[in-house]
Amino acid sequence: MLHRVGRMFVMPTSVLDLAPVVPVVVIEDAGDAVPLARALVAGGLPAIEVTLRTPAALDAIRAIAGAVPDAVVGAGTVLTPEQVTECVAAGARFLVSPGWTDGLLTAMVASGVPFLPGVSTVSEVVALLERGVREMKFFPAQAAGGTAYLKSLAGPLPQARFCPTGGIGPGNAPEYLALPNVGCVGGTWMIPADAVAARDWTRVESLARAAAGLRSIRDAGGTCR
């Protein structure tokens, strides 16, 4: 649960506990950032991952951080230490990477904000656990083995928790959220490209509300919390 201090929401200990679904947002026009974020928050999804896949990404993070206090805006597709610095300066309150290196991990730890380094193998998970990192992004989730793979990890590595992303939609999200080592999932289905192009924020809010309704499945999923 998020806690309000003044007009700003304060993060809980874990990024994975913000919401059952983290929208993975690609913003082409920074002017869409604020109304899109407001629609997602109104629908019950306060954590918003803005990916660094477009030139508008940093401006979008700044705009959301400055104008939507109920949002917890993060940066995704973070690949370099320099991007870590830029994203935090822009107002990112968490960081997500598709993979990790020692240099990138060092920068994320030093940033002072929560982060989810990406993994897709057991060795990567063990290496992060060795460094004291327990929360990770599992990517690309479906291609890397999906729910069967994560179930296999829960036995030998129960201390690791994941945000699976990649190939997840409303049809299979409940299967992931029911796993004890999954805290949330990342996805794009609540922000379809045609709705964003039409600036149909009412539709985005409705889809976000349906995604937020998966919380009951997540909360009943297990004990690794």
Q: Cα–Cα distance between 177 and 34 in angstroms, integer?
A: 28
Q: Is the dihedral of CA 167, 2, 85, 81 positive or negative?
A: negative
Question: Do 63 and 34 contact (CB within 8 A), yes or no?
Answer: yes
Q: Which residues of 61-72 are buried (b: 16+ CB within 10 A; e: fewer)?
A: bbbbbeebeebb
Q: Cα–Cα distance between 214 and 189 in angstroms, integer?
A: 14
Whether 137 sits among the annotated catalytic residues: the reply is yes
Burial of 165: CB neighbours in 10 Å, binned 0-12, 13-18, 19+: buried
Whether 49 sits among the annotated catalytic residues: the reply is yes
Catalytic residue among 28, 49, 130, 175: 49
Catalytic residue among 82, 137, 151, 205: 137
Q: Cα–Cα distance between 97 and 107 in angstroms, integer?
A: 12
Just list the catalytic residues: 49, 137
